[in-house]
């Protein structure tokens, strides 16, 4: 119920406008967002690198309303890739296709992402294409598959709550496309996704095993300690070296757990978002974990 409410609020334009212009709200958002500028994101990335943590930088923004906006998003990402390379930061970038114009022109969106994939290949870097709602799944996997064949510098995200995900993981593994496995953060119809957490968790573990067995440097993205322990146990049972996969988490969530994984010798990458359009991302983080809501309320009452 709380999750549905927060996801509904994440789509309210007037509330978003107020939040993104509120000094108090922006300050509270720094728990999960590096800041509004690339320089702030780079500074945070350097700090995380010194702790042995790699990063994935994401310039916040989702559906654009014009192809000019999509081109602007592409250019921000090109500058981000160049800055990562020039700074020697251990990191890559992650993007959403709706931000690159998929809802306006699939051809233009593909061209925008390809520009980024070409540059990433030149730098020996990598572009992760995030997964959005199930309405985008086929188009996203199709684009990733095509650009990976051309440039080899593109990876996908698979959501464990979708029924179709096992077949998608098998196909991506066969093509040696890198996969980030997550549970999924969108409200989906029962016809497309497992309705219960128990079933999502079960499927997540099955997909994790498949990726560790057959995947190309898979990313196990979760803050759920049960999923993390299951991954560690399965990797140990298969004698999978710890440098053959990585855990991924969101910046600002479960810092204690992050430190513990690094201390145990596992690879860790944090998803570090930056930019002015932070409100939808922020609300989804609230929806995922009630403790995040309580943190915000406590800080609001201190004002």
Question: What's the half-sphere exposure (Cβ side, CA atoms, 13 Å) at 155?
Answer: 22
Per-residue model confidence as pLDDT tens digits over 246-283: 999 999 888 999 999 999 999 999 999 998 776 666 66
Q: Assess contact for 201 and 226: CB atoms under 8 A.
A: yes
Confidence of residue 104 (pLDDT cuts 50, 70, 90): very high
pLDDT at 212 over 90: yes
C-alpha 151/C-alpha 46 separation (Å) is 27
Please give the pLDDT value at position 187: 82
pLDDT tens sequence across 92-103: 999 999 999 999
Fold for 34-277, please state it.
TIM Barrel (3.20.20)
- Tens-digit pLDDT profile for residues 142-200: 999 999 999 999 999 999 999 999 999 999 999 999 999 999 988 899 999 999 999 99
As a whole number of angstroms, the distance between CA 6 and CA 296 comes to 13
What's the whole-model pTM score? 0.86
Report the alpha-carbon distance of residue 106 to residue 66 in Å, rounded: 13
CA dihedral 167, 180, 234, 49 (to 10 degrees): 170
pLDDT tens-place string over residues 1-49 = 545 554 554 455 655 554 555 565 555 556 788 888 999 999 999 999 9
Q: Determine the Cα–Cα distance for residues 88 and 72; give it in Å rounded to an integer.
A: 24
Catalytic positions are 130, 180
**The predicted structure's pLDDT at residue 299:** 42
C-beta separation of 112 from 77 below 8 A:
no
Listed by start position, the domains of the chain span 34-277
- Do the beta carbons of residue 58 and residue 84 sit within 8 Å? no
State residue 36's pLDDT score. 86
The confidence score (pLDDT) of residue 278 equals 62
Enumerate residues 6+ apart whose C-beta is below 8 A from 289.
223, 253
Q: List phi, psi (to 5°) of 294.
A: -65, -40
Q: Compute φ and ψ for 152, nearest 5 degrees.
A: 70, 15
């Amino acid at each position: 119920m709380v999750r549905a409410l927060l996801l509904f609020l994440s789509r309210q334009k007037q509330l978003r406008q107020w939040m993104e212009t509120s000094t108090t709200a922006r300050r509270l958002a720094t728990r999960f967002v590096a800041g509004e500028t690339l320089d702030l994101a780079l500074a945070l990335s350097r700090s995380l690198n010194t702790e042995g943590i790699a990063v994935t930088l994401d310039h916040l923004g989702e559906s654009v309303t014009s192809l000019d906006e999509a081109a602007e998003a592409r250019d921000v990402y090109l500058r981000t890739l160049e800055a990562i390379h020039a700074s020697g930061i251990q990191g890559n970038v992650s993007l959403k296709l709706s931000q690159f114009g998929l809802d306006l022109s699939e051809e233009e969106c593909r061209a925008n992402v390809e520009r980024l994939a070409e540059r990433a290949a030149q730098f020996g870097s990598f572009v992760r294409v995030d997964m959005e709602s199930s309405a985008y799944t086929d188009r996203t996997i199709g684009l990733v598959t095509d650009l990976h064949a051309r440039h080899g510098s593109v990876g996908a995200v698979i959501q464990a709550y979708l029924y179709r995900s096992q077949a998608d993981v098998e196909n991506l593994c066969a093509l040696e496309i890198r996969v980030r496995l997550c549970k999924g953060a969108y409200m989906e119809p029962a016809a497309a996704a497992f309705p219960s957490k128990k079933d999502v968790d079960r499927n997540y573990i099955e997909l994790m095993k498949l990726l560790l067995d057959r995947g190309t440097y898979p990313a196990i993205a979760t803050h759920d300690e049960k999923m993390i322990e299951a991954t560690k146990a399965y990797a140990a049972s298969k004698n999978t070296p710890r440098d053959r996969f990585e855990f991924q988490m969101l910046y600002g969530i479960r810092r204690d757990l992050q430190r513990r994984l690094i201390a145990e010798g596992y690879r860790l990458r944090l998803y570090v978002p930056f930019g002015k359009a932070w409100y939808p991302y922020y609300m989804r983080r609230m929806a995922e974990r009630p403790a995040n809501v309580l943190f915000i309320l406590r800080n609001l009452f201190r004002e």
